[in-house]
Every structure is written in C-alpha cells, then in structure tokens.
A and B are shown apart, each in its own frame.
Chain A
Amino acid sequence: MTHVNRLRDYLRHPFWLAIALLVAAYIVFEFGVAYLPPLFGVRSAPIPDSVLLQYLITAAVGILIYVSDNEERWKRFKEPVGTLLVDPGLRWLRTALLVLVPLAVGWLTYSQVRPGVAAPVQLRSIHPAPPTSISFRGRTIRLTGLENPLRADGSIEEDYEVGKRVYYGNCLPCHGDLLDGNGHYAHGFNPPPLAFTDNGTIPQLTESFVFWRIAKGGPGLPTEGTPWNSAMPAWEPILTEDEIWAVTIFLYEQTGWTPRTWEHEGEAGAEGGHD
C-alpha cells in the first residue's frame, strides 16, 4: 500500500503527472491505436514514426498548456528542474546528464547527416482522374456517365461465369484467389497488385473507371500515376470489350462490393470530387 500511496503523491505533483501523461500518450499511440480500426471492421496498420512524433508533440503542447495554466501549478512544475540544477546531493545525476545529453544530440545529428542509401520517394496517385473518353481497338468509348452495358442486357450469372474465366486465366497470379492482391506472383511486384477486397478500391470507383484501368493498364496511366512501375498490363490487345465488362462484374460479385454509380458520382463531385 505504501507504494501505491507514494505513487499517488508523485502523480499529484504536476511535473511527474506531466511525465506520466506523456508516457501514457506514447503507449496509446504506439501500441493502442492500431487496435481501433478492427473494431469497425477496417484493416489496421501501425502508425508511421513521423505521425507518431506529430501526435506526441501535440500531446506535449497540451500538457504544457495545462501545467502553465495555473500560476501555483506552474511553479511546482518547475521545482524538480530547479532542484536538479542546484541541489548538491544531485551532483552526479547532473554531471551524467551534462555528458549524456550532448552525446545523444551528437548521435542524432550524425544519423541525420551520414550518407544514407535510400530510393527516391515515389509518390503517385492511386486513383488518377480518368479521361472523359478513350479509344478502344479503334473505337471511341466515352467513359463519363458510362454504365456497364452487360448489366442492362443478359443475366448477371452468365456474365459472372465469363468474368470468372477471364479472371482466372489472366488476373489470378497477381490479384489472387481471395482478390486480396496476394496472388502467387504478387511478391514479385512493387507497387503491389491492388486488393479488391479493400474498401478503398473498387467500391469507390465506377465500373467505367475499372474498365479504363483494365483496358489501358500501367502503360496507360496519366502523368500523375507515374513512375510507370505498375506491372498492370494493358488488356486491350488481349481481352474484348465484353470480356472486360464481364470481369468487372466478377470483381464486384466475388467481393460483394457494389460499384459507384454516376448519380452518386455527381453528389460526391459536389463535395469535392473523388480521389
């Protein structure tokens, strides 16, 4: 119990409270936040270091505002620092810090300036803006407002079967059985093949966009989609128009997503367009 009481005394002191809050914030950001998205059925990933640093700085500023908000609290907050600087009993700690802190700063500076081996950052737009029309095997197809013609005529089940055949004969090695972008060839490519199971992919797109990406592939990407490293082939020479529309139906049916339609596109456009 005495330990608990001592801990409580420490936490009453604004300096140690501030330290404890900062450590707690770090633990939550580093280890806790990644568990939040799965609660809503969204795939998770650890926070990148740069974002972590931003969060921590924000937290530190908040804590500083809190401790300096009240004159008495601010005075008490500064006490341990003052003690450390002058107390004869803390001479060894003081000397140690005077040696260790400059060493740490030196090391940080060195790791910043030493020559590093890094590839140039390759920023690219995952979903670049589609052209209003494309030329497909010599025929002009207007993409804006275009819906999948197979949904109007013929049965979806037949189109699904045709699309499935197309998918397994062409797309499977990269995009995989589970349509999660993890086929048995996926590890050979960077950027990795698109995961259609991801809710940031085909559910955000119209079928005409998907048609354009399949028909024109990596080589048909506009400038913002460079640097031409995508291994996605242009399927125009291999697949017919109907086959591309059929495999589009397969992608949506197999993943259970529904495509964006042009009515929705208009609404979203009013809110600032799609990414």
Chain B
Amino acid sequence: MLNKSLFFVLVIVSSQLKVFAQQINCNITLSGKVIDEHDNSPLMFATIYIKELERGAVSDEKGNYLIENLCPGTYTLVCNHLGCDELTEIITITKSVKHNFYPEHHTEELQSFSLIEDAFVEEKTVPKKELSIRELNQSRGKSLGESLKSIPGVTSLNTGNNVSKPVIHGLHSDRVLILNNGIRQEGQQWGSEHAPEIDPFIAKNISVIKGAESIRYGANAIAGVVLVEPHQLRDSAGINGELNTVGASNGKSGVASAMLEGNIGKLKGLSWRVQGTTKQSGNIHTPDYFMKNTGVKEQNFSWALGFNQPKYGLELFYSQFNSDIGIFSAAHIGNLTDLKKAIASDVPLELTDFTYDIDRPFQHIEHELFKAKAYWFTGDAGKLNLVYARQYNYRSEYDKHRPRKDSLAALNLPELQFTITTHTGDLIWEQNRVKSFKSIVGVSAINQANTISGRQFIPAFVKYGYGAFFIEKWRSDNAKLELEAGIRYDYIYQQAYVWKNKQWNSPEFEYQNYTASIGAIYKLTSYFTIRANIGSAWRPPSVSELFSDGLHHGAAAVEYGDTNLVAENAYNSTLSLEYAKDKLVIQAEGYYNFINNFIYLAPTLPATLTIRGAFPTFNYKQVDAVLKGLDFKASYKLMKNLTWTGKAAVLRAFNQQTKDWLVGMPADRLENGLTLELPKLKTLQEAYLGISIGNVFTQTRVPANSDYTNPPAGYTLLNVQTGIKIPIANQKIAVDFEINNLLNTTYRDYLNRFRYFADEMGRNYSIKINIPFNLNSKK
C-alpha cells in the first residue's frame, strides 16, 4: 500500500517538475520535518499532500520532506502517517518556507505549526553521511567508534575490543575532529589507543561531514568532522523520557541509559533534560578462549537546561564521562623477544576464565564538558551565537607491572597520567538568506593546558589559539545549483615543558595557516544530484609527534618524535553522485586527497638496545602522501517488503617519496544486506528481519618490513538482526535482537593493535530495548 502510494507520489512529483521547471516564478520550496508529538522522534513515510496541486512528498528516515517548485499561493496541506490522525493545514506561501508537522494520536491536542522563514534544508557540497535511525538504534550500547562503522568509508582503529577510534578515509586521531554537542572534543586525541570520551547515548544524530561546512569547527579536520548531536530540547509543555537497555552475551555486558526531559509551561520557553548511562562488561570471548582482563565499566551523566525566547535564548549543557577499560593482559609484553613469542603462539600466552574484574593493565578516563550558549536574533538579518565551553580530561594508565617497591605498589598509582583542561569560546553570526546568499562568520579562541605525571612519554604543555572563518552559500533561483565557499585562518601557539638530561627545556612553537573550501551541488533532476568539493586543511604536529622519546609500553616499540616537524597540509577533492528514484538509491563518493608533510611512524633500523632487551624503533617522519578512494552505498527494493543494501569502501594510500604504500590503512571492504519488513501483526508494528554479510579483504598494500608480521587474512562475517515495535499506552516500545558473528568465525583485523596477540570477538547475541514514555498532562 505504502509503496504504491510512494511510487504514485514520485511519479506525480517528477511529472509535475517538468511543467514547473520552466516557470521562473514557481521555484518556492516547502520543506520541513514530520515529528511525533509525543516523543519528538522524526516520523518517516509520512505523506504530505497538496490538495490543490494533487502532488506531494514522503518524509525520509529523518522525518524530512521536501516539495519543490511551488508557485506562490494558498494551499491545503494534508499530512498522513500510519497510526496518526490526518492533519490538515492551510497555509499561504510567498517564499520558501519550512513547515513542521506534529502528527498526534489525539485530535484534540493538535499542535499549531510553526513557520520559520526560509529554513530550507541545508545541503552540503560533500554529502553529510549519517547513521539512519535504525543504524543508530542497532549501535546502541556500542562505543562511538564502533557506532560510526556502518557509514561507508568509516572504519575504526581498535586496541582490543574496548578502545575504538573512528578512522575516516584512512585517517584518525588528530586528523578527525569530533564535535560533542557543538563543542570540539579536547581530550588526549593524539594517542592511537585513546578512544573518544563520549557517551553515544547523548546523541540523537551521529554524522560525518566534510567540505566548507566543516571549516567552521576548526583546523585539523583533514579527514572530516564527526558530529554527535543531541536533539533539541522540548519546545512544548510536558515531560517525556526514554529508557534504553542493552544486554549482550559476549562479555555478559549490560547497559542502561535513561533520559528525562521536560518543558515548564508556566515559565514559557524553559526546558530541561537529564540523562545518564551505566555500562558494565566482563572478559570478551573469542571463538576459542576468553581474553584476560578485557572488561569495561562506564558511568556517564549529563544535563541540559534551555531558556528559549522569540528574540534570544540561553542553553547550558554539562556532561561527565567516566570509564575504566581493562587492557588485554597478554598484549602487554616486555620486549622484542616476548613479542616474537606472542606472535608465534596461536593462543594468547595468558588465559583466564570469565570475570567482570578489571586488573592491571587498565586505563581510567574522566571527561567533563560544560557548555554555555547564548543566542540573539539580530532582527531579520540573522542569529548571533556566543558559546563558551570548558573541558576537563583526565587519563591515567596503569601498567601491568606494579612498582617493585612494596611501599610504592601499595599506593597503586598510575604509571602515566595526563590532565588536560581546555577553555574555548566561539562567537558566530549566522545570516538569514538574503535573496540567494547566506553566510556564516565567526571567531573562536582556545586556551589549553596539559599536565603530566609519571613516566615521561609526552611533555606538559600550554596552548593558545584563535581563529576566524567566513562561509558563504549561494543558491540559484530554481534551487538547482548551490555553491558554497569558506575560508578560515588559525593561529596556534604552543609551549612544551620537557624534562630531559636532568633539565627542563621549554621550547615554543607557533603555527598559522589558512583553511579553504569551495564546492557545488547540482540537482540534475529531482532524483539525481552531483556534488563536488575541493578544499585545503592543515594541522600542526601533535605533542606526541614532536616529543615522544622512549619506550611505548604495550606497543613494545621505542618511538622518537621530531621537534623539527612542520604542519601537515592537505588538499582534498571529492566528487559524489546521488541517485534516488523508484526502487533504487545510489550514493557514490570518490575522493583524491593529497597530504603534504604527512606525519607517520616509520620503522628505523637498528633496533634500540635497552636494558630490557632490543626494541623495534620508530621515528616520526614526514612525507608527501596521496590517499584516494571510493565509498559506495546502494539499496534496491527487490520486492514490496524486501530491500537489498550494499556498501563498499576502497582506499589506496601512497607514500610519494618512497613510491610505496602507507602503513596502517584499512583494507577494502564490502557489505551486503537484505531487510525484510514484516506486515503489521495485530498491534505489533515495524517488524523487520535483516541479514548482512560483511567482507573485509586482506590488506596486501603494505610496505615491506614495516610490521612485525604480515597483515591478518581477510574475513567474512555474518550478522542477523530482527526488531519489532510494541505499542503500549500510546508509546512504541522498540525491541531489537541481533546476533553478530553468527558463524563464530575466528578472525583478526589489520586495524586492531592487538592483532598480534588474540582473535577478535566470537559470536555475540544482543538485545536492545527502547522504552519512550510521555507524561503530558491531558488538557
């Protein structure tokens, strides 16, 4: 039924477009969201129909709909959604408008709609890749790095199962900016075994962006920007919430997350939210054995407070992230001899039974974010935002080794401690669209201090920086062509405090550079879009790249930084095509990125002789590198309720100097899935059954003698998912069940730093339950 009407609407839309495209005055766009009045969740497959024109649109996964090429006039809009009553609105439009629908189960509570001037769906010249609602739900309970993996082109760099960093097009750590609720995450991102300190349950939307839009967030975004965004605070009176629980068999893990939010009707515009998550997981099981000391404990908490008035508003946000992460014991090795022994052994040299206890070695991490945002609408011209944030990050690493001295050992102190405190301020003015133009301009400042204690791995440092940016967007009158361009300037001052040869040194570093981006979107037809973007980005070398000096415990390597390293400069180009018509949807993105002075760890001979034995030696070096690749995603409706989805990502990373491959790049990968949407069964809704097969190929493109052993063989994983929504008391309780690695395949992954020591996780059954609830008092 739905598919037929969808198809019908599309046919009408496309046939109408041909007529209207020729009429110059009729290029008004009507767009907006269809939002569930109860829990603010976007509603997909809602139909919005214009009675007079006998045409309309269907909302997508995010609840967005778009009706283009309208002439000025008064229209009757009819919004329909399964299980909701029909909404009818009459509006007069003279220019492009955003119109949100709030379908409701009770007609007497119909909300008045809001008309926001020219809130056209903002497009980007590099497609924003986001997790769909189902993908986000399926990733519940996983870390941020793991959640992002369903986006083609995004992989993760893992240290065991518990530390996972997002890798975008082969790049990670300091080259990926992570925005947590609009604030640039400032933790110990330089470390490849340091995961982002973010609770993914905060997010209602997780996406990866590139292009001009990304330059408003700062330099460094060579690989892109990860946006972790909570949804808006409630804007109508009432209280609602959500309870999420996840249980998984492997690691016997349990996650519970609760959120409660409300809007106080009496104090108009005052809204609040509190949210918390607790997580515990024990030793992970590979198909053949338990991995010793691989448990995790996590406790997170956040609150938000908003005061929104027609002319101005204030928002406060606070979040806390606390975790203890066990580091797989058998991976903490002594020296090269031990490493060779571990690699030669099929099973880890230390085995254990299941336990939730976390022993040495482990990491204890705390991250705090406090954000205050104020905004004013500067008349009709735009909106001025002022944002201040303070972040506090505490990371301590406990070695496997306790101190030899009993008195010291009794204190149980971490061997390595970093404390980084960051203050950031941003002043941004977003201009409303004037004719075809829209601009964003802003300035930002950062003040950061890092203190250390324990083993000298990276030094203490202070950092100051400021930046300014300007982004301009232009859209043609018929909305077929859009251009965007942005430029940014950043200045960074850094002073390090290094203890070496029994003396303190405090070298200073200054960096400044421009970031620029220009791109275009061309809508060939309503179902075919071409996007192109070229841009530059840069980042200063990180403290670890400048100052690493000594043994990297756990990595069994001696690493040397180089204080003469200069900033990396990247020149990125992206071309993407999107086709969405009838049963077929295709998104393809090709990129060619040139990185001047790309910093990487190069193996160096001879091995470093220490009193603990010989260690392989690595030096941070700079080369010119080229990274090019292709991301592909497609879906096709094979039958009425059966959809095939395919994803592929290919990357070639080349060292221009040595004419060789770059080390540590993700292998090519492929994923095929089938999803069967089941018909409504009595009151049970949106039931689905999915199966997916993921193939990761062997990484053969590695330089010779760059690793202790060959990259592990490719692998194929089979996953199945099923889910259903149970309507109870006007709410839909969602239950999702998943089996990962169904065949209990034994495999290792090239991007896991523990690939030398152990296999990846075996079969894992998980169940996720989402219970939204609503406490709206009935009028």
Q: Is B one of A's binding partners?
A: no
Q: Could you list which residues of chain A lie within 8 angstroms of chain B, going by C-beta atoms?
A: none
